[in-house]
Amino acid sequence: MLHRLLALPALLTAALPVVAQMPDSTNAPVVAYGQAAIGGLGSTFSPLTLTELRGITDNSRILGQDLSGHQEQLLVQGYGSVSIAMDLGLVLGRRVVEGRRRGPELRLGYMFVPGTITNTGWSRTDRAVYDTLTSAVTGQAYPVDSVRTSTITAGLRASFIAFDASLLFRTRNPDRVTFFGGIGAFGGAAFNSEVVVEEHIDRSLESASGHGELAYQELADEDRSERHAQTDGAWYGGYIPLGIDLRLGRRRGFWRMVHLYHELRPMVTFRDLPGVGVRGGVGLQGLFGLRIDTSY
């Protein structure tokens, strides 16, 4: 199903020249362009509490331990990932000079974020007297401590796909370089969701020397992990598209229709986590793309 969704905009883009030649009234919208872009998306994310994580991890043995002595390591969370966007653009304006259509644009498409992860972590270090060393020269005793450090992480992983719509306004279209901006919204699903819980236990012996230095002896480490599948939820929000567009050719022909563009999308994002509720954040998506525009 997902690969069909990814292929749909490409097929529609290939049909743009045919659509552009169809008759239309001066007030009717016209499909003007298709575009595809790749970039990155990053967003903040409200932390999940230990109680919330325990509630969605099916009685995790790692999180089910007494963690009252552990210190939380990550107070601010976020996620980032590669992102892909594909869109079709409809020009809403009237027919102008030489049959070119230009006005406000309604852009419809989707964006895909293949994988994100947010982590919450806790750590605890325990020390206990293991042995005592006595200097053969001075007779001074030096304690040897057994040090045990437990580090626990709980990572919430998911992929996102959302359909989006935006209203754009662009500067004069005869120019090779144009700028655009507007407002947009998106809504879709978080899927392939899971919580990965891991614990790393580091053991060592620590002793003091007569020169104020510490000596360490590493012992065997211990690792264990758990995976807990999650119910898919919703992902939605709003953004402000801001960008610059470069048309590759000035004369009539294929290269006049080819555009390269760079777009930034400051956004507000929300994710609905079943069993937890809605978590919000602010983010930024940056895209570099190729656009085929038949309206010039």
Give strand pairing partners of 282.
268
Q: Is 249 exposed, middle or buried (0-12, 13-18, 19+ CB in 10 A)?
A: middle
* Residue 167 Cα distances to 89, 118, 182, 185, 285, angstroms: 10, 31, 6, 9, 17
Give strand pairing partners of 238.
185, 268
pLDDT at 294: 84
Q: Identity (one letter) of the amino acid at 76?
A: V
Name the stretches of the chain with pLDDT < 70: 1-29, 74-76, 93-102, 128-145, 173-174, 206-219, 252, 296
pLDDT at 57: 92
pLDDT at 161: 97
pLDDT at 21: 45
Q: Is 239 exposed, middle or buried (0-12, 13-18, 19+ CB in 10 A)?
A: buried
pLDDT at 249: 84
**Residue 68 DSSP class:** T
Per-residue pLDDT of 16-62, as tens digits, reads 444 444 444 555 668 889 999 999 999 998 878 889 999 999 889 99
Nearest to 117 by CA among 271, 2, 224, 268: 271
User: Selecting from 3.40.50.800, 3.40.309.10, 2.40.160.20, 3.30.460.10, what CATH number does the domain 2-12+31-118+156-195+231-293 have?
Assistant: 2.40.160.20
Predicted TM-score of the model (pTM): 0.76
Of the CA atoms within 13 Å of residue 187, those in its CB half-sphere come to 1
**Residue 95 DSSP class:** B
Backbone angles phi and psi of 285, in degrees to 5:
-115, 130
